[in-house]
Structure 1
Amino acid sequence: MSGQGLFIAFEGGDGAGKSTQVRLLAGALEELGREVVVTRQPGGTDLGAEIRNLVLHGDHVSPRAEALLFAADKAHHVDQLIRPAMDRGAVVITDRYTDSAVAYQGAGRDLGAAEVHDLQMWAVDSLLPDLTVIVDVTADEGRRRRGDVHDRLESEADTFHDAIRAHFLAMAQGSPERYLVVDGTLPPDEIHAAVMGRLTASGLLGGGSA
C-alpha cells in the first residue's frame, strides 16, 4: 500500500447510513496496514464540537450565520487535523465535508450554491477529497430511519431534504471522476464492497488504474 495521505468523504442526507460506511471502510483500511483517522464535520475538533452543539442543538441561527459557522469549523478542522494527518501518510475519512455545506446552506437554505461553495473553498484552502461517496436515500427513507431523534437540521421538512438530495446528485453528476453514488437502501456490506471496488479501480489504494 502507498504511504501517501488519502482523504475520503462520505456525504448524503440525514439517516442515509454514512456512519456505518465510515466504520466499515476504516476497519478495512486498518486491516491493510494504513493509519486511519476518522472524523466528522462539524465536530471533529474541540472547537468544532462547540460549533456543532451551537448550530444543531442551540437556539435559532440565521442562515448566513449558520453558513459562516460551518465554514469556520472546516477551516479549523483542515488546519488542525486533516492536513497534518495526510502529511504523515494517514487516510482521513470524514462523515461530511464541504459538499454538505453547499447542499444544506446553498440549496436547502437557498443562500446560493455558488456563493457557499466559494466560501467553503476559501475556508479549506481548496482541499478536496480524493473520493467523495454519496450514500443516497430519499427524504422519506431518511426520516423513517431517523425515527424520533432530530437535531435542528434533521427536523426540517421533507422539501428541505429533497432539495439537499437533488443537489448532492447534481454535484456527483457534474464531476463523476471525483464522486461515487451508492444506493443507501442496499445492504451495508454491498455498499462497502462498491466503495472498496472504486478505491481499488481508481488506484487510490496503491494499485489499479485511474
Structure 2
Amino acid sequence: MQIQRHALADQASAALLDRIRAGEWPLGHKLPGETTLAAQLGVGRSTVREAVRELAGKGVLQSRQGAGVFVTATDVPEDWDAVLRRAGIAAVIEARMAIEAEAAALAAVRRTPADLRALRRALRGRAVEGPSLERGAIAAHVDADMAFHRAVVVAAHNEVLVELFDGFVPRLRTAMVDMLRIRPLPSEEADHAAHVALVDAVAARDARAAADHSRTHLASLKEALA
C-alpha cells in the first residue's frame, strides 16, 4: 500500500493499524524492521518511527529496546467517555454493581476509623428531611448520594475502583436527576435505611453483608430506572 504524501505519519499509522486489524501481525507478534516497513509504505524511516510512536501511544504497539516493536492490541481501544455515552443506564448500573459490591466488601475489611467517620458524614449529608426533594433539591440530593457511594469505594483503598467509579458518575448523575424529577422515590425513608444498613455492615467489618446491601440497593435502582 503506497502512501500519499500528505500527513504521512498519520497515513502510515492508519495503514499499519489496518494491517494489524486484518491479522497480518497477531497479538504479541513482532513487526518487521523500520527499513522493511518504510519500503512497503513508501515513506521514510523517520515517518515509520513517528507512526509507531502514535500507535504505541494508543496502546496498539510497544517498542522494546533491543528487541523491536510488538503488537499489544489488535485495535485502538474506544474512548471511555464514548462508551458511557452510548451505554444504556441499565448497563451502567450493572457495571456499578460489579464495582461497588466488591468495593463494599473490601471497605468492610480495610476501612479505617477515618473512613468510617467519612462514611457517616456522607450518610448524614444524603439524608432527606421532609419534602425536600419536592422543593427542587433533587440535584443536590443526587450529588450527596454520589458522594456517599464514592466514600464507600474510597474506603476500599483501591485506586482502580475509585477511578472506575468516577468514570460512571457523570453518566449516572444525569439519569438520576431526570428520574427523580419525573418519578420520586417510592419511599425516601426506605432508601436511606438501605444506606444506613450498608454503613452498619462496613462498621461491623461484615464483608458479605456489605456486598449484599450494596448489590440489593443498586438492583432496586436499576429496576426503578428501567
Task: Identify the TM-score tier after normalising by the shorter chain.
Answer: under 0.3
So what's the TM-score if we normalise by structure 1? 0.25
User: Relative to total residues, which structure has the larger strand share, 1 or 2?
Assistant: 1
Structure number with greater Rg is: 2
So what's the TM-score if we normalise by structure 2? 0.24
User: Relative to total residues, which structure has the larger helix share, 1 or 2?
Assistant: 2
